[in-house]
Structure 1
Amino acid sequence: MAADDIPVAEVLAEDMGKLPMEAWLVALASLPAVGPARLRALLATGSPAAVWTRLQGPPSPELMQVAGKHDLYEQWRRTAVSLDVDRLWARHREHGVGVAALGTPGYPSALSHDMDPPAVVFHMGDPQVVAGPRVAIVGTRRCTRYGSDVAFELGRDLASAGVGVVSGLALGIDAAVHAGALDARTAPPIGVVGNGMDRAYPERNRALWRAVADQGVLLGEAPLGAPPEQWRFPARNRIIAALADVVVVVESHASGGSMHTVAEAAARDRAVMAVPGPVRSSASDGCHELLADGCAPCRDVDDVLLALGMSGAEAVPLDSRPDPDRVGQQVLDALGWQPADAEQIKGRTDLTMAEVAGAVEELRAAGWVAVSGRWIERVGITR
């Protein structure tokens, strides 16, 4: 039988056997106009490889319903027929882009328990640096010199204290924050991007992207080739909020991306702080509204460390505590850096209450957590 005569189903079956599940997930994420919600809806209908196969076959009412528009479904079908999944997967490996599916060992534990976790996370750099306390610093692209200086100092001083600094790597405040974090050369920086990692956006921040990937990690949920479309950035902002134990707004106008990140943080019960600005500066209007609404003021790094439950002494990254065992690490990952009770930890893991209680007692004795009444809280930083 000639190669052209081999049934498509047989070719697909052979490809599915040699490609990992993540390759088909990358292909689905590469479909036109597929964001977090549509990708989640597609995966609800079957495995990534099975969904991809169905897109190449006769019209599927179930998948057409996910698309919502006939024209979009036709774009998906044409893409599924023409896209070389093997080559797409190879491109990600060639670019040094790792891929982790929700529920797999390589997926960042900081996102796995989120209310809206990405189905897939792309990363450049070391994803293991997403551990310990993390602070997101956000603000306007049209920042003042005052805002840029404060952002740089906060990024530098937090990183020096062993805190992972998170930003979206945009112009303005984001860029200043990570310039400061990189200057400290201590805690690895964490950048969250909204488009494919083969295209730095904005282009002016290309060197910053590269430095963050080299010294820390870039994270996102867009595959290679994904353009910086406007709808991708609110989705990115929810990941910034999900990664953060505290969100600090340095400068923000009354509306904009920073306020969207604040809303995502509030939905996740994350602490939000705001830097006071000059009363006549419109760049600080959003910060002043947050302060009027009761958010804590951020005057310097000590205010943020206090919100994290850390002091300068606790922040020193020298740790003689014994490593937690497997169950203890599960409890620490589920606990994060906000106080929680045993019932909440149990709900975030597959552990029994007895296992949680035993692990908490061992972690308390080793100095990893402090217990006050029913509340359990992390102490210091992990290695």
Structure 2
Amino acid sequence: MSGEPVPHEAHLGALASLDRVGGASLRVLLSLGPPAEVWDRVRRGRLPSSVLDALPPPTRAAVPGWARAASTCDPVRSWARWRERGIGVVSIGSPSYPSCLLDDPDPPVLLFHRGDLDVLAAPRVAVVGTRRATGYGRRVAHDLGRNLAAAGVCVVSGLALGIDAAAHHGAVDGRAGPAAVVGGGVDAPGPATNAALAREVVDRGVVLSEAPPGTRPEPWRFPVRNRILAGLAQVVVVVESAERGGSMHTVEQAQRRDRTVLAVPGPVESAASAGTNALLRDGAGVCTGVDDVLVALGLSRAGSVPAPTEERPDPAGDAGAVLGALGFTPVPVEALARDLGLDLARLSVALGELEALGWAERRGPFVERIARRGTGPGEPP
């Protein structure tokens, strides 16, 4: 990539790689200016006291080590390495940013992803619960994942052990691709025992994270991850949960966003169902199977969800070849011409056709594929 322009997502990703930097800290840093300028300030240790004071205390304590870390990190090389590994980076305002997060009260500034962002155009249901699931809970989660995906619903979960894994195991062979939001990097999402499942989710759907590749899933990242899970979902189903924990935090985030919350009833003597039974006592909807979830989505019990329709005409010729090479992450136009063996004039014509058809968007020297917009109940196409 020597001599090629680098999108601002490269420097955003470098900033996100700094110790204790999450979405809130990233917004504070970006108040100083464009990502490349902020990165240069970090590298030189020149952050103003007003910005330092605005950072959360744990992040502020990590600031002294940032300049040293930045001196060993090259955003251009990191960006090239992510591209080589099939890892995309999308920032808010980008044409491929998930439309369902645009109106979120706390949208992620950037998302790393592997897989197909277009699966998020389907209706989306989060299936969450305890890592210490019982056999009953795993069976219910697996059946929900399988039946929802077969009905055309994107099953969203966190790739954790227990309920998350059971729901995704059920969903990976369905009509709609699944989505996972993880606390660590998308290059090694979830626990090692779920590695094969994670590959299936990437192959059939998409894995998303705010954390850069190579990031360990530190405990503080899971609560901030849960808001994205809740933001993506139109309905949240809790299968089994203790009265406190990650699932209950996801419920809180869902309620903040006016999402429908359903709970699966469980045995009154089971600690794994204490949280779900409490939710039911407090007024959550009852989930006894896929029909209850489809009704909560505003869909018929009898029918499956219509598949998201692709209203954009399929391009042909050079435009079709260019679209096949485009991903949901910005790429330099010159690099695209070189990879495809097209001269710039011919490529420009093809890109113009893709833009006219709504498949791509140019941003300065970069071009990026436009993701299909959500077409679930209550969402604009």
TM-score range, shorter chain: 0.7 to 0.9
Aligned to 1:337: 377
Aligned to 2:28: 41
Aligned to 1:52: 39
Equivalent-residue separation in structure 2 for 1:122 and 1:259 (angstroms):
25
Whether the aligned pair in 2 keeps the contact of 1:113 and 1:334 (CA below 8 Å) is no
Aligned to 2:196: 207
Matches within 5 A, 1:103-142: 103-142=93-132
Aligned to 2:53: 65
**Amino acid aligned to 1:147:** G
State whether structure 2 residue 90 is matched by structure 1 residue 100: yes
Q: Deviations over 1:88-139 (max 9, x none)?
A: 1122112211000111111111112111000001110011111121000000
Aligned to 1:153: 143
- Shift of the alpha carbon at 1:84? 1.7
Whether the aligned pair in 2 keeps the contact of 1:161 and 1:312 (CA below 8 Å) is no
For structure 2, the 5+ residue unaligned runs are: 314-356, 359-371
- Equivalent residue of 1:79, what SS? helix
Q: 4+ runs of 1 displaced by more than 6 Å?
A: 14-17, 319-326
For structure 1, the 5+ residue unaligned runs are: 1-13, 327-331, 339-376
Matches within 5 A, 1:140-219: 140-183=130-173, 185-219=174-208
- Shift of the alpha carbon at 1:182? 1.4
**Amino acid aligned to 2:377:** W
- Equivalent residue of 2:172, what SS? helix
Aligned to 2:297: 308
Aligned to 2:275: 286
- Equivalent residue of 1:124, what SS? strand
- Shift of the alpha carbon at 1:56? 2.3
Aligned to 1:343: none
1:81 alignment partner, one of 71, 76, 88: 71
- Shift of the alpha carbon at 1:70? 6.5
Equivalent-residue separation in structure 2 for 1:136 and 1:77 (angstroms):
39
Q: How many residues align?
A: 323
Q: Which structure is larger by alpha-carbon Rg, 1 or 2?
A: 1
Whether the aligned pair in 1 keeps the contact of 2:17 and 2:212 (CA below 8 Å) is yes
Aligned to 1:20: 7
Q: Deviations over 1:126-154 (max 9, x none)?
A: 11111121000000000100000000000
- TM-score normalised by length of structure 2: 0.79
Equivalent-residue separation in structure 2 for 1:321 and 1:22 (angstroms):
28
Q: Deviations over 1:145-165 (max 9, x none)?
A: 000000000000000110110
Q: Deviations over 1:298-337 (max 9, x none)?
A: 01100110111112555254688977998xxxxx958963
Equivalent-residue separation in structure 1 for 2:91 and 2:309 (angstroms):
33
**Amino acid aligned to 1:337:** P
Whether the aligned pair in 2 keeps the contact of 1:16 and 1:49 (CA below 8 Å) is no
Q: Deviations over 1:170-223 (max 9, x none)?
A: 00000000001114x311011111111222321100011110000000011110
Equivalent-residue separation in structure 2 for 1:44 and 1:209 (angstroms):
35
Instruction: Judge which range, 50-59 or 296-305, deviates more.
Output: 50-59
Whether the aligned pair in 2 keeps the contact of 1:158 and 1:165 (CA below 8 Å) is yes
**Amino acid aligned to 1:80:** A
1:269 alignment partner, one of 258, 279, 303: 258
Aligned to 1:244: 233
Q: RCO greater where, 1 or 2, for CA within 8 Å and sep 6 or more?
A: 2
Aligned to 1:32: 19
- Equivalent residue of 1:130, what SS? helix
Equivalent-residue separation in structure 2 for 1:241 and 1:319 (angstroms):
21
- Equivalent residue of 1:137, what SS? strand
Supply the RMSD in Å over aligned alpha carbons: 2.6
Give the percent of matched residue pairs that are identical in Structure 1 and Structure 2: 54
Aligned to 2:320: none
- Shift of the alpha carbon at 1:17? 7.1
1:233 alignment partner, one of 208, 222, 230: 222
Distance 1:209 1:64, change over 3 A: same
Distance 1:16 1:49, change over 3 A: farther
Instruction: Judge which range, 104-113 or 161-170, deviates more.
Output: 104-113
Distance 1:152 1:93, change over 3 A: same
Instruction: Judge which range, 125-134 or 82-91, deviates more.
Output: 82-91
Q: Deviations over 1:258-300 (max 9, x none)?
A: 0000000000000000000111111100011100111110011
Distance 1:76 1:109, change over 3 A: same
